[in-house]
Amino acid sequence: MIKVALIGAGKMGISHLAILGAHPEVSIVGVCDTSKMVTDVLTKYSGYNCFSDYLAMVDKVKPDAVFIAVPTKVHARFIKDMLERGIHVFSEKPFCLTPEEGESLVKLAKEKNLINQVGYHNKFIGTFNEVKKLLDEGAIGEIHHFVAESYGPVVIRKKQDTWRADPAEGGGCLMDYASHVVDLLNYLLSPVEEVFASKLQPIFSSMVEDAVYAMLKLKNGVNGILSVNWSDETHRKMTTSVTFFGTKGKIISDANELKVYFNNDTCPAGYSKGWTVKYVTDLTEEVDFYLRGEEYSAQIDYFINAVKGKVKNDINTFESAWITDKSLNLIRQKAS
């Protein structure tokens, strides 16, 4: 059994906790949150050993691994404290507020030889992994353009401000929302290297942007467009999609549906000239416990397996999330 503790029982933390609670190889040794209401409920109804001080918790219950799901502002400090104690870390995204903060943590995790993962769950979605396979094979020829988009209904009116509305705490559409699709782009094709233009656009928020628009150049030389807006209520929930234009065809994918067009017959097995449509239902492996999406369980399974030494710790590492932090930083700098 892997002994796991949770720091931060907000929405993502609780979701992780439920998946971990159902995991046959995990024993939950502690939960830490600053809300007494939350820890009271978790103590009474789940029987968890709850704490309000995260250091007191880990020093007492000595977990093998922790899940950190607290506001981004304190990621760096909390992660460092865990690594220094020799504890494996799964952190929520985005990784850190600045690339500088993240760089030392990447080094520290490597030095200490600890498993490190960040919760960019898109990499555990079947359609996006099929896109990666096609791109790696060069199936649609030379890529000359991409469009990366994400829309959803997070801030759809002027409202009470939480930490998500405070740029100093890691709030805003760039860090909280666009980070997903930027990270996906880094993974599928190549990291963002240059930002030609970017606009951080407030819509309903007063202190942060609700939309991010940018024109990007990736390390492999491909140019493309980023369009992200979390004030779009025409989407029931967050919808992320990517389109790649190549000399032999085109790929359009979101988390549910993959559409691929080939302009000739030399295409991979399972595809043919013209359009081929595949669904996530055919591309996703079942999980042992399901909550909100297979990817949330799959990323936790992967982390636990890495801690057990069963898989290599090479998806969503601190390093890859740090590269995404650097891309986000470039977009922010260009906008200012």
Partner 1 sequence: MERILFGDNQFFAVSHISDEKSRAQSIKFKDDQSIIRTLDYAREEGVNTFMCTTHERIANICDIIRSDPRKYKDFKIYPCMPYAHKYANAVTELGYVGTLKQYVPGNFFGSLFKGGVAFISKDFISIMELLIDSEMKMFKGINTPVIFLQNVITDLLLGLGMKDILKGFHDHVKKKYNAEPGYITMNMPKLLDLLEEVGISNPIICASINKAGFRMSGGKELYEKTLSTRQFRPIAMQVLGGGAISPGEALEYVCSFPKIESILFGASSKGNIEDTVSKIRLFDEENRVGEKLTA
Contacting residues toward partner 1, per CB under 8 A: 10-11, 14-15, 17-22, 35-38, 40-47, 153-154, 159-160, 162, 164, 234-237, 239, 241, 254, 256-257, 279-282, 286-292
Between CA 121 and CA 15 the distance in angstroms is 13
Quickly tell me which residue has 């705490």 as its tokens: 169
Q: Which two tokens stand for residue 233?
A: 């209520």
We find the least distance from the C-beta atom of residue 45 to partner 1, in angstroms, to be 4
Question: Which C-beta is closer to partner 1: that of 25 or that of 257?
Answer: 257
In whole angstroms, the minimum distance from the beta carbon of 112 to partner 1 comes to 30
The nearest distance, CB 46 to partner 1, in angstroms, is 5
CA atoms within 13 A on the CB side of 293: 17
Residue 292 Cβ vs partner 1, minimum distance, rounded to whole Å:
6
Using the 8-state DSSP alphabet, how is residue 110 labeled?
Answer: H
State the nearest-atom distance from the C-beta of 102 to partner 1, in Å. Answer: 25
Q: Which is nearer to partner 1, 41 or 215 (CB)?
A: 41
Nearer to partner 1, 5 or 109 (CB): 5
Q: Which residue has the tokens 């993240």?
A: 102
What's the CA gap between 32 and 58, in Å, rounded? 9
| Residue corresponding to tokens 């930002």 | 195
Cβ 22 to partner 1, closest distance in Å?
4
Distance in angstroms between the alpha carbons of the first and the last residue of the chain = 49
Closer residue to partner 1, CB minimum distance, 158 or 199: 158
Q: Which CB, 51 or 322, lies closer to partner 1?
A: 51
Three-class SS of residue 224?
A: strand
Angle at 290 (CA atoms; ends 285, 293), nearest 5 degrees: 70
**Residue whose C-alpha is closest to residue 296's, from 3, 93, 7, 77:** 93
H or E element, residue 23: none
Residue 61 or 238 with smaller CB distance to partner 1: 238
